[in-house]
Amino acid sequence: MFEEQPLSVQNRVKSLASEAQTQNQPYAWFEPLYAQASGNADQVPWAKATAHPYLQAWLPGQPQPPAQSKALVIGCGLGNDAEALQAHGYQVTAFDVSPTAIAWCHQRFPNSAVDYQVADLFHLDPSWNQTFELVYECRNIQALPIHLRSQVVGAIAPLVAQTGQLLVITRIRADEQACEGPPWPLSPMELAEFETYGLVETERATFTEGETITVQQVRITYRYAQG
């Protein structure tokens, strides 16, 4: 759900993110943000004590996955969504570019069966391609600048197994709407890029939230046409 963040957290995100953009290292700000939070999740703007509400609402309608079905959680942050998918019956791999975030996941869930890994979405092990029955992408694409969008979509789509599905939760904007991120909500044209990889939208829920500021979000599932 959309919650307005305290000004101090907003300003810290803005300043770390803009410094990273200036240095042409668009995702270099996540590790310092987690490190500077020093174990206080209130300092991580997207962190929640539970799984994302739109994932929580989606999961009960999903059949129990067959034994050994693999799920991949992209940019897993502090791990709640990965844990929810593991509890649903998936064998979950969850990765994040931030070593501090992954260490934090281990600390929060010391007995977890989730395979938490430090990894960069843009340099993943090619053996992961077409491996996962569920690929879960929540609020990571929108956290990366628009000039990386095609690259991000191109890194995510091949991970989905031919019989699998992709679940995306993201803010959206109109194609013609400019935005100054982070976050950089996705436009219909940008979302349509998943279809160039053969993925077809199978379900969409749209959510409008916020009072002073209104935010539009979607939860979309995709499958391969022949899946």
Ligand X SMILES: C[S@@+](CC[C@H](N)C(=O)[O-])C[C@H]1O[C@@H](n2cnc3c(N)ncnc32)[C@H](O)[C@@H]1O
Q: Which of 43, 98, 217, 221 binds ligand X (CB under 6 A)?
A: 98
121 binds ligand X (CB under 6 A): yes
Q: Contact at 8 Å (CB) between 216 and 201?
A: no
Q: Which residues contact 75 (CB under 8 A, 6 or more apart)?
A: 95, 96, 97, 121, 137, 138, 139, 140, 143
Unique residue bearing structure tokens 């309608």: 61
Q: How many residues bind ligand X (CB under 6 A)?
A: 17
CA distances from 141 to 70, 136, 171, 227 (A): 21, 12, 9, 24
What part of residues 1-20 is at the interface with ligand X (CB under 6 A)? none
Smallest gap, in angstroms, from Cβ of residue 18 to ligand X? 16
Q: In terms of DSSP bridges, do strands 91-96 and 70-74 run parallel, antiparallel, or are they unpaired?
A: parallel
Unique residue bearing structure tokens 């998943």: 194
Q: Cβ closer to ligand X: 101 or 159?
A: 101
Q: Cβ closer to ligand X: 123 or 177?
A: 123
Q: Which of 77, 79, 164, 185 binds ligand X (CB under 6 A)?
A: 77
Binding part of the chain for ligand X, among 15-23, 138-146, 189-197, 212-220 by CB under 6 A, reads: 138-146
Q: Cβ closer to ligand X: 21 or 198?
A: 21
Q: Cβ closer to ligand X: 120 or 203?
A: 120
When CB distances to ligand X are compared, the closest residue is 75
What part of residues 194-223 is at the interface with ligand X (CB under 6 A)? none
Smallest gap, in angstroms, from Cβ of residue 34 to ligand X? 7
Q: Which of 13, 20, 30, 86 binds ligand X (CB under 6 A)?
A: 30
CA 14 to the chain's CA centroid: 19
What part of residues 49-68 is at the interface with ligand X (CB under 6 A)? 52
Strand runs (DSSP E) across the chain, as ranges? 70-74, 91-96, 115-118, 132-138, 160-171, 199-209, 215-224
Q: Which of 46, 109, 128, 197 binds ligand X (CB under 6 A)?
A: 46
Distance CA 53, CA 175 (A): 26
Of residues 141, 169, 164, the one with CA closest to residue 56:
169
Distance CA 54, CA 180 (A): 25
Q: Which of 16, 85, 143, 153 binds ligand X (CB under 6 A)?
A: 143
Would you tell me which residues interact with ligand X (CB under 6 A)?
27, 30, 46, 52, 75, 77, 96-98, 101, 120-122, 138-140, 143
